[in-house]
């Protein structure tokens, strides 16, 4: 089964650490990162899609993807 997640966060070191953590759990970058301005909070936001192949598990909408 292939899993997909879209990570988001502020444009600071915490976002880089979030992406680094999932890469070290076996996830892979999927596509280009995104970057945009949040007018409500007046901050820049980042986003990055990641995917991971997991064998022996069937997809269930109730699963917590962050646990893989």
- Tens digit of pLDDT for each residue in 20-65? 999 999 999 999 999 999 999 999 999 999 999 999 999 999 999 9
The whole-model pTM stands at: 0.88
Residue 11 CB neighbour total at 10 angstroms = 15
Element (H, E) at 15: helix 13-23
Average pLDDT over residues 8-23: 97
Sequence-ordered list of residues with C-beta below 8 angstroms from that of 1, at least 6 positions apart, any chain? 53, 54, 55, 57, 58, 59
| Chain centroid, CA 32 distance in Å | 12
More confidently predicted of 48 and 67 = 48
């Amino acid at each position: 089964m292939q899993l997909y997640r879209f990570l988001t966060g502020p444009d600071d070191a915490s976002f880089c650490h979030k992406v680094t953590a999932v890469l070290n759990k076996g996830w892979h970058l999927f596509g280009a990162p995104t970057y945009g301005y949040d007018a409500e909070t007046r901050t820049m936001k980042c986003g990055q899609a990641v995917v991971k192949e997991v064998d022996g598990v069937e997809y269930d909408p109730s699963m917590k993807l962050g646990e893989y």
